[in-house]
Chains A and B, each alone.
Chain A
Amino acid sequence: MPITSHYLVKRAIYMLLSVFGVSIIGFALFRLLPGDPVELMVGPGYFAKEEMAALRARLGLDQPIYIQYFIWLRDFLSGNFGRSFRFDLNVLDLIIERLPATLELIIFSVIIALIIGVSIGVISAVRPGSWADRISQTTSFVGFAIPHFLWGIIFVVVFSAALRILPASGRLDMDIEVNKITGFMLIDTLLQGNVSAFTNALTHIILPGLALSMGLIAMIHRTLRSSMLDVLNEDYIFTDRMKGLNERYIIYVRALKNALMPVITIVGIQFTFLLGGSILVEKIYGWPGLGNLVFTAVQYQDLSLVQGIIMIYAVIVVLTNFAVDLIYTLVNPKVEFK
């Protein structure tokens, strides 16, 4: 298919341009704003004046700004994000160590959102205007309007502080040891056949996962409700009913299959919002992922670490958008690049 391959090339070039643009902003944020980059890098008051000047020359900071940018870009592309003075570790290593926890939280919340969102979406669409529909609509309005981090606090207060039924922080109880295989706690515990650790990890991920999924549940509900209403009015559903097929089969198999398409798109688009939302949710729940690392980095003014993290987030967003577009074109070849 020539149109598709042409589109793919265009889309890939666009993605590379985006990474380039992201790198310019990521660089400019830290170099053009007030503050001495060397001091930002090693921490305030670490070196004497002469040593600072020598270090500046060695890092090429006495060069013109565009040359500095290319030096920085070269380092960035080769995976050299600098050193975190707070942890005394390579920034990229730190990020890679923390990334699985963040991804696990986000993927978990997408799964919760799909389960709840699709269920209430179908309920709403099957009986539009009923009390169940109205309750679902109000819930989804509130779920959407209140930001992730407030949900996080509400759930901590209700389920941890008041009811004391779910833990409020971390990924596991302190006294449980799990060997790291994939870095995904729920998968690692299962791989090691440790069911009690798995259950423990599950109780820890429920609250942050639910807090993060609230907005997405609302989006899925709204999208599915309207697409399902459209699909239910189509001729083939009418034919199915005429043929006397089981109503449940018509709704959950025949109609839902087609109504889910826009939901997939929404999940793809919302993924980047979940990435942003996870930062504060991680902070609230002491979740040891990238979001929590940002706050540690900011607290200690560890700006090479902050810069590394912000670049990683932006690159993940660009790559996700690219992937969503690709999947969408594969599923629906009518789409073309505008």
Chain B
Amino acid sequence: MLSLERVSERLKTTRGVLSILTSSKKMLFGVIILLALVITGGLAPWLSPMDPNEQTLGRAYLPPFWLSRGDPTYLLGTDSLGRDILSRLLYGASVAVYVSVTATILTAAIGVPLGIASGYLRGKFDETVMRVVDIWMSFPPVLLAITLISILGTGINNVIIAIVVADWTRFTRVIRSEVLNIREKDFILAAKSIGFSSFQIMRYEVLPNVVPLISILATLEMSVAITVEVLLSYAGLGVKPDTPSWGSMIADGLSYFRLNPWGMLIPLATTIIVILGLNILGDGLRERLDPRLTLTR
């Protein structure tokens, strides 16, 4: 393990970051999955061979091209309405990327300042924040997300709101407990003695030292966000029906499983690989940056 100071030092340069990201096979695998997701999701409109919603009923239930009934025009086959599975998968990736990146940024934007302030300032503020976190965590996150969607209605932005509302406590909790350790370090005492204000200490001394932890939490949060999006869309409570999503593809695919099992196996396998990849990346980062941290849900 690298010391806290050395990790922070390395994170300041691109080469340093690269050296951490490629330091183990595990991490490399995770990075490749993440890059593949972001690139395919981001470039979906250009990469997709056809319109994901275009229906060709005469060409429904086609298997992937490598099977005998397959058609090379539809590389991964078609679903019950004759829509191209590859194109839907790529557009589904862009939904997954948009939801997970936005939700992660927003949960971090709430959790990081709150966690730092709570852990550093302690006292009444900390007590209040932790009480709210405790009470909030009494609601199962999935149930909270479903409830919010039932009130706000479906749609990609409501999915993001639901994820943030259901899951802001993770960053807050974990960052706070790390800050409790950091605030006892000598460099904090040094900063105090040269007259830094509390805000300055939190901004310039504490924040840079929780960056490694934030990176670990962010990869995990991305996998949670993708899970919740897939799960909500699976249940018909996610993005609008005309937006392709892995969750709704899995749900549709289950209904015509006997006619073309690939319609559900492909999005299911994609979801699993992406979630595993992000978890492996998070685990690799944790081993490299902070082995003390035990992962909790």
Which residues of A does B touch, CB under 8 Å?
17-18, 21-22, 25, 29-30, 33-35, 141-142, 144-147, 149-150, 153-154, 156-157, 161-162, 215, 272-273, 275-277, 279-280, 283, 294-295, 297-299, 301, 303, 306, 309-310, 313-315, 317-318, 321
Contact = CB atoms under 8 A, between A and B. Distances in A.
B152 interface: yes
The 7 lowest CB-CB distance pairs between A and B, nearest first, are: A276-B140, A21-B135, A145-B279, A298-B150, A314-B138, A317-B138, A147-B227
A85 B276 CA distance: 42
B140 A317 contact: yes
A318 B138 contact: yes
B contacts with A: majority SS: helix
B265 interface: yes
Contacts of A33: 151-152
A22 B139 contact: yes
A39 B147 CA distance: 16
B257 interface: yes
A318 B136 CA distance: 11
B264 interface: yes
Interface stretch (B38-46, B68-76, B118-126, B230-238): B230-238
Given A142-B276, A150-B268, A279-B142, A161 B135 contact: no
Contacts of A18: 134-135, 138
Interface residues of B, number: 44
Given A161-B261, A273-B297, A317-B139, A279 B146 contact: yes
B132 A21 contact: yes
Interface of B: 131-132, 134-144, 146-152, 223, 227, 230-231, 234-237, 250, 254, 257-258, 261, 264-265, 268, 271-272, 275-276, 279-280, 283, 297
B227 to A, nearest CB: 5
Given A22-B139, A25-B139, A161-B261, A283 B235 contact: yes
A145 to B, nearest CB: 4
A141 B283 contact: yes
B231 A149 contact: yes
A321 B141 CA distance: 16
A298 B148 CA distance: 10
- For A29, A277, A318, the residue with the greatest tally of chain B CB atoms inside 10 Å of its CB is A29
B143 A276 contact: yes
Contact of A298 (B131, B149, B276, B283): B149
Given A276-B141, A298-B149, 12 more contacts: A21-B132, A147-B227, A147-B231, A150-B227, A150-B268, A157-B265, A280-B234, A298-B147, A298-B150, A303-B150, A313-B139, A317-B137
